[in-house]
Chains A and B, each alone.
Chain A
Amino acid sequence: MSEPILTIRKLSAAFTRGAASPVAVTEDYLARIGALDSKVGAYLTVMRDEALAAAKAAEARYRAGTPRSPVDGAPLAIKDVFCTRGVRTTCGSKILETFVPPYDATIVERLRAAGAIILGKTNMDEFAMGSSTEHSAFQLTRNPWDLTRVPGGSSGGSAAAVAGGLAAGAFGTDTGGSVRQPAAFCGVVGLKPTYGRVSRYGLIAFASSLDHVAPLALDVVDSALLLAATAGHDPLDATSVPAPVPDYVAGLAGDVKGLKVGVPDEYFGAGLDPEIERAVRAAIDVLRDLGAAIERVSLPTTEYGVATYYIVAPAEASSNLARYDGVKYGLRVAGGKDLVDMVSRTRAAGFGAEVKRRIMLGTYALSTGYYDAYYGQAQKVRTLVRREFEAAFARVDLLAAPTTPGVAFRHGEKADPLAMYMNDVYTIPASMTGLPAISIPCGFNASGLPIGLQLIGRALDEPTLLRAAHAYEQATPWRERRPELT
């Protein structure tokens, strides 16, 4: 097998020069998946025939000198939360085990139109509810840096695929941190764009006001390329933002001189692993050395973020998941005494424990007598969080913080639901405010596990976010270190 860890930017340049062929590269990735994915468990479905057919078409375009985009021929992995026409889409759940969508999600359609090759569908926490991918109904995914540890979640399959050289890039979804956290755990770049920047059409809904489509990549340039290929207004998603899409790659040029970077005190409190604190503070020093002005800021409502999120997200989920009723698609448990009995038995058999917990929690928070105390209060706290960020961004251009309070943990280590939820403490605020945020590698702990630096920007200001991330990345050696999978 040839050298697998190549960025999309390098692959595309090699295709253009004729130094590499999309078919041969796709065959290499498929061979690596065949040889190594039994260890990693990143993929639920490998789309061999479709991928090879797409690679042949890409190859013909490069030969003719007419590639469609900078991601033409790039072999990608797609989280199994995105509908793919004619290809099983499970959302990590038994209830959708046999579901074959009759249409493509907008991002899948845009990636295909850009010439990208879809290698397959990746494992995830069921309905994207989780932070370890252990809530998949089908298989465990292992972290390529240490196979005894989780890749993070819920987009753990996509992050592990990129880290393990089983895809050149990937897409996941980030609702409370589900792309940034696995990116941090797997030592790759995870970019959550502004809410509405990328269409959610065809993304199986978890919490609609929080769900973001988000790319995972080996470096910041590739993140910009994947965002560029998918961003922009979509009339099929009413929450899609109609703002023009800037040139994200051109925006990477330039430095961070004079950029004001805020460091929120509350992101460095109790519960933060000291090794992560050291790495993140060192990363902030690098930004200062590059010319950024560092300023302390305060976001006092941070400590209420997890509690707020675990009302809002389950409430929305309880409504979104009402559609799984054993009638239109997916599993049906037959033999119920009437319709309601059939629906209740189907849902009991089809959903896993975490999904049931969140449906119950959300239904409770929305039910008569509890609505104001829980859902109503959480929505108001969401306003307080938003105001704090607005006040901070009146003073600074970016915020810098850790992505996660700890490094990748072992399988089974966080059996208590609340302990698992606390993993999202630093990623939830940017989800609730819809602000763009990125996790980039900023070092390793003493055991060689990756650490993520999180940068958060102003709404629709992905250019500044990406430019700062790129400047930091270019000044540091972290992206050169890759896990060894054999």
Chain B
Amino acid sequence: MISRQDVEHVARLSRLALSEAEAERMREQLSGILAYIDKLRALDTAGVEPTSHAVPLVNVMREDEPWPCLGQDEALASAPDRRDAYFRVPRIIED
């Protein structure tokens, strides 16, 4: 079971501005899904190593050589708001 408070906390962490109605529907649906997922608790996994990846590849290294990359204009071309060579965002530092 997940509370409205949990939903609001997780929505803040997720950077999602949910409406009242959305938050309530989310609480109901997540509760249903989590109730199903809770069956995992029944499995004994004591001493079992976690798997984060299907293929055991570790520490993939390469030579540290220069490599052609996107130009500034290409990288900025899809930005919703830019000025000169920068992404523009709402003010984050007070005067």
Contacts and interface: CB of A to CB of B under 8 A. Distances in A.
A373 B48 contact: no
A417 B33 contact: yes
A332 B80 CA distance: 6
Given A348-B17, A379-B51, A384 B33 contact: no
Contact of A332 (B33, B45, B81): B81
Q: How extensive is the interface on chain A, given as a class?
A: 35 or more
Contacts of A363: 10, 13-14
A319 to B, nearest CB: 11
Contact of A361 (B30, B39, B90): B30
A359 B17 CA distance: 13
Contacts, number: 174
B43 A381 contact: yes
Contacts of B85: none
Contact of A339 (B17, B22, B55, B92): B92
B87 A103 contact: no
A445 interface: no
Contact of A209 (B19, B52, B87, B89): B52
B39 to A, nearest CB: 6
Contacts of B49: 380, 383
A306 B33 CA distance: 11
Contact of A327 (B39, B48, B60, B89): B89
Nearest to B62: A235
Nearest to B70: A102
B10 A418 contact: no
A177 to B, nearest CB: 15
Contacts of A364: 2, 6, 10, 30, 34
A414 B45 CA distance: 33
Interface of A: 98-103, 194-196, 209-210, 235, 238-239, 241, 301, 304, 306-308, 310-311, 318, 322, 325-332, 334, 336-345, 347-348, 351, 356-357, 359-361, 363-364, 367, 373-374, 376-384, 386, 416-418, 421, 432-435, 459
